[in-house]
Every structure is written in structure tokens, then in C-alpha cells.
Structure 1
Amino acid sequence: MRTLLKAAFAFGRFNTRFHNLFQMQCDRQLSTNQVTKCPYEREKIRKEFDENGYTILRKVITGKVLEEVQRHVDWLLERYPDVPPEHLHHPILRRDPFWMRLVSDSRLLDIASMFIGPHIALFASHYFCKLPGTGKRVLWHQDGSYWPLEPMHVVSLWLSVDKATVQNGCLRVVRGSHKSALKELQSCTKDNNVLGSHTHSDVNDDDVVNITLDPGDVEIHHPNIIHGSEANTSKTRRCGLTIRYIPTTTRCTNPSHPVYILQGNDSKVNQYRSWPLFMSGYHMPFEGCEKWNSSRYVNRDDEEYLQCLTEKTLEEDVRREVKEVIDGLQSQRMRTQQQ
């Protein structure tokens, strides 16, 4: 089976037939036809999204998977105690098979397909974890101003891992602001904030909506919507997973940034990377992990590296790339302070 999948992927044939074969091996029901099975009121959701720039769906991820997501965050925080919890970034997650299992969950892909169609790739993902009493602010910004995507056809899903309240720094959006153009990023070091930058310093308070969520709820928003969050002043943690889905027709203009195909046909505008290997004893075990390596998406150009990977080299690569992300943010702050 694995040989068959490798041969298909090597020729770029991640078509419906092989996709369905892959998903059956994963014991999941994903297909390019699943958009017709979506349990949500599509027209109502799209109308709300088009008018406001965001919408909320309740109890999307439940049961054992939600328990595994919460355990995953605890596991990451314990494994990387020196990494600020707000910076559990793509370099960590893209080497983590449970994370890939989560972002390819049929319930999340069903939602994404309502906004970008059935042919779906993953651009980026990031746990924003604010610890009790210490979590930092996220200043007002538009996501699209950060991203090397062409065209800017992308949708963000914000999966609530913990209960998100006003007190612990829930997401806040400016209703209707997605109808405005993207603004240039401005560095900002006045506040101890997560991103070190913003696109807007002032917004109309009457249009600000606090997005309060329960674990397993999903908020969906437009790349142009102005949003941010306050610091966590409560005694409870607030963690959410951002997932940035793009149609396979959207190109990532940064060739070094890894992009992953999740569902549907490859439009040949990106080179899609292999899904991560599961390494027993290194990665967090999860339901289905014993079948993971024989059923994951494979790009043959990545396989020599992945098959020779050791726990030591994997850990070194993760920590090096995370350090580069954090150092980049710190350098940006220092440059701003010197101006």
C-alpha cells in the first residue's frame, strides 16, 4: 500500500481516487465530496461570514479527539519549557503527527471547504497559549498583512482548546472590518505583546466583539478582519489553535515555507511536503498512531531526510527553527527601539 501511494504522489497524482484510498487507510471519512455532507447550514454561515468577516460554530471537536488536543498542549508545554507558550509555532507543529492528524480532521475540512472549496492545503498553524496571569496581548492586526500568499485566498479557523473568556484574553474582532484593504505592518514595542507589530492602533469600540468560546468550538475569520486579544489576567489558561487553510490554487510565494496538501487535487502551484513520521517514544501517542506511517501523504523528495531522521536531529531542527522565529521577533523589537 505504501509503495502504491508513493508512486502516485511522485507523479503528482494526489487525485480523488488516491486521496480516498489514503483516508480509508487512516480510518477517516475524508473525500473531495464531503462538502455535500457538511452538517452545517451553509447559506446561513456564509451570509454571516460575508457580512461580519467571522462566524462561530459550536462543539465542532468533541470527545476523545478534544481530550487528545488538550493533552497535546500539556505535552508540548512540558517538552518545550524554554519556549514562550505564545510561540508554539509552525516549526514545532509541522514535525508533529498528532497536529497533522488534527488539522486534517474531516470536521475541520468540512468547515474550510465552505469558504475555499474542496481542494485544500495547509499554509500554517500555531497554538496561541496564554498562561494564567502572564499571557501577553495581541495587538490589532490583519492576518493577511503577514502572509506571503498569492492570491490572498485563505481562511483561518481558531479552535478553542480551553474555555475562552473576556478575563483570560479571548479573541476580539472588529465586526465588518474585513471589507477594508490590508494595511502595512507597523512595529510596536510599547506593550509586551506577542507579535511585536500591528496594522491598526485604534478601532471603533462599538464594532468590537469578544469571541467567547468553549473547548471544541471553532471561530472562522477572514484574512482582512482586524482582530487581537488582551492579556490573560485570570487564573485560567487560554489556548487556541489557529489553522490557516488555503485552496490548492493559492501559491505560497516563500519557497522555504512548508505547505501541506490535505484534501483534493494538486494544482501544481506549491511543492507539498511529506506529512511527519510518527516516532514511538518521541511523539505523543494518539488514537491511530500505529497506522500513521503507512498511510501518511508522502513527497519522495522529503523521504530520504525523514527516513534517516533521529530523535536528536529532529529535536535540534525544531529548536533551531523556533529560536529563529523568536529571535526574529526580538530583533524587530530592538530595531524599533533604536529608531
Structure 2
Amino acid sequence: MTAETLLSQDRKAAFSRDGYFIAEAFLTPDEVESIRREITAIVDRYPDVPEELVQIEPAVRRGAVTPESRELGVRKLFRMTRHSELFHALALHPRMVGIAVELIGPDVALFQSMLLMKPPRFGGQKVWHQDNAYFRLEPNDVFGFWIALDDADVANGCMHVIPGSHRAGIGEHGGVADDYGLSSAPTADDAVACVMKSGDALVFHGETYHYTPPNTSDRRRRALQYHYASTHCRSTKDSPFKSTEPEVIVAGAGAVARPPEG
């Protein structure tokens, strides 16, 4: 499946109108399984993986929960393109790069990579927010792929979005860490739950309101999230995001398939 077939005129229109669309079967089952194995391998290297690249679930940090394995205690992994050949190669995936070029132009960088783990029973919510409220990129030529590595539904914490919210600009945000979010949260009546199969991808604008509820199920809900931005974007001084340097330049001037660090 090519970027051209994934990004039909209807999907381009949906992205412009709603700020998101879902691409079914974006990754193959084999691709998804290789990502799952790589996650386990990375977590098994911890604490050799730098501490700032790993976020533990709050319930585990507080000692309220003892996970069955080290991996099940992890909330997020950051910037894995710098520590994994597989995740570096995924940044250059032709379907992702092709869609990025179609949506934001010829000069594209992977701006942020994350693995979102949301373990069973105690995986916490992520409050309503806009990703570009973290990045503060101008112009706002930034969007994300949220790729389900497990079937995702409301019970295990699927993505929820507010259609059309990306057209309103960046709303007021407050709080810290995973409580950093919109000061005035949307109502449930306005939200669309993005129920997805493993391998599906949610493609969403960097200013689309979104949220994930806690995982109250006995099932995992892992996801890969890559944000791409135009290399012409610049982060403003009030960005709360720790790093404003792109991870990998994937298209246009300066594009190189650099080996990961470490």
C-alpha cells in the first residue's frame, strides 16, 4: 500500500476538515510484532537506556502497584530512534514519509518519537491536550502518527479526538508532565473514540484536541507515536518541550539516514 493510496482526496479533505483520519492496516502484522519485540529488548536493557528516555507509570513510582514485569511498569519511552536501528528505520518508512510530504511539504523531519505503553489495569489517562502546545512550532506544519500495536478501544485506553478542533488555534494549557493539558476540557459529547485494530494508524494534526482514558481492562494498549514537522518550523521560547531539535531529517534538504546513537 502506497502513500498515494493511503492519502486519497477524501482523506486529505478529512484531515483538513476534522484534523485526523484513520488508515486501516497501516503496518503489517509482521511489522507490528517486530516493534513489540524491540520494545521488550529495549526495556530489558534498562537501566542502560538513559533514565530521561523512560517514564514509569505513576502508580508504580508511588509503590501502589507492583507490575508483573519491568515492561508492564513502563508508561512511555522517548527518542528511541537514537537507540534502536528499528525505530530509526521506521522514521524513514516510505508510507509515513510519503504522507508527511503530502501533508506538510517536501522538507520534513521526525520531530518526536514515543512509545506509549498504557499497561493493563493501572495505565493512567492522558488529559485533553494539543501536541503543539508542547512544541510551540511555528508555522504549525506538524502532525502525528499514532499507530496501534494492540487492538485499542475505550476500555483499554484508545485515542479520543475532537473533530475540527485544530482550526481553533492553541488553547490555554496548564499543569505539569502528564497533567499538562487544556485548562478547559472538552465535553464527552464532543469526542470521537478512535477504536482501532493493531496496525491501524491515526493521522492527526498537531493542534487537534485529543485524550486517552485509563486502561481499566486486562489487555495491553501499546502505541507508537511519531510526530513529523516541516524543517522550516521553529519552536517559540515558551515551549515546555525539553528538546526542540529534530530526531531525523527524513525528506528534503539535509535528509540523511543517520545511524542511531549509542
TM-score, length of structure 2 as denominator length: 0.80
Kindly tell me: are residues 41 and 183 of structure 1, through their superposed partners in 2, closer, same or farther at Cα, counting changes over 3 Å? closer
Task: Pick from 162, 180, 185 the counterpart of residue 197 of structure 1.
Answer: 180
Q: Does residue 77 in structure 1 map to residue 43 in structure 2?
A: yes
User: Compared with structure 1, are the counterparts of its residues 75 and 143 closer, same or farther at alpha carbon in structure 2 (3 Å cutoff)?
Assistant: same
The alpha carbon displacement at 1:241 in A equals 1.1
Q: What is the distance in 2 between the residues matched to 1:258 and 1:202?
A: 30
Does the 8 Å contact 2:250/2:257 carry over to 1?
no
**Contact preservation (8 Å) 1:140, 1:226:** yes
- The reply to whether residue 219 of structure 1 matches residue 202 of structure 2 is yes
Give the Å deviation of 1:59.
0.5
Q: Which of these residues, 249, 255, 258, is aligned with residue 245 of structure 2?
A: 258
TM-score (norm 1): 0.63
Q: Find 1:209's aligned residue among 172, 189, 192.
A: 192
2:86 is the counterpart of 1:105: no
* Higher mean C-alpha deviation, range 209-218 or range 250-259: 250-259
State how far apart, in whole Å, the 1-side matches of 2:224 and 2:19 are.
19
Bigger Cα Rg: 1
Aligned residue for 1:122, secondary structure, equals strand
Number of the residue aligned with 1:178: 166
The structure whose residues are more often strand, as a share, is 2
CA RMSD of aligned residues (A): 2.5
More helix as a share of residues: 1
- Match of 2:85, as an amino acid? P
Shift of 1:102: 0.9
Offset of residue 63 of structure 1: 4.2
Counterpart of 2:71 in structure 1 is none
Q: What amino acid is the match of 2:75?
A: E
Shift of 1:201: 3.7
Change (3 A) 1:181 1:87: same
How far residue 78 of structure 1 moved from its aligned partner, in angstroms, is 2.9
Pick the aligned partner of 1:124 from 112, 118, 134.
112
Partners of 1:42 and 1:114 within 8 A in 2:
no
After TM superposition, give the deviation of residue 248 of structure 1 in Å: 2.3
Aligned 8 A contact 1:61 1:107 in 2: no
Aligned to 2:156: 168
In the superposition, relative to structure 1, how do residues 106 and 41 fare at CA in structure 2: closer, same or farther (>3 Å)? closer
1:87 counterpart = 2:53: no
In structure 1, distance between residues paired with 2:7 and 2:84 = 33
User: Which secondary structure state, in structure 2, belongs to the residue aligned with residue 214 of structure 1?
Assistant: coil
| TM-fit CA distance, 1:64 | 2.9
d(CA) in 2 for partners of 1:233 and 1:203?
Answer: 21
CA shift for structure 1 position 124: 0.6
CA shift, 1:276, in A, is 3.3
> SS of 2:110's equivalent?
strand
Q: How far did residue 173 of structure 1 move? A: 0.6
Q: Which residue of 2 aligns with 1:311?
A: none
Provide structure 1 residue ranges, at least 5 long, that are not aligned to the other structure: 1-33, 189-193, 267-271, 278-305, 307-313, 315-339
C-alpha distance in 2 between matches for 1:213 and 1:111: 19
Distance 1:276 1:208 in 2: 40
Cα distance change of structure 1 residues 169 and 221 upon mapping to structure 2, 3 Å threshold? same
Q: Percent identity?
A: 30
Preserved CA contact (<8 Å) 1:93 1:126: no
Change (3 A) 1:146 1:273: farther
What amino acid is aligned across from residue 178 of structure 1 in structure 2? H
TM-fit CA distance, 1:71: 1.2
* TM-superposed deviation, 1:273: 8.7
Distance in 2 (CA, whole Å) between partners of 1:133 and 1:76 is: 23
Letter in 2 for 1:123: F
- Provide the C-alpha distance between the structure 2 equivalents of 1:125 and 1:227, rounded to a whole number of angstroms: 17
SS at match of 1:39: helix
Measured in 2, the distance between the counterparts of 1:248 and 1:125 equals 16
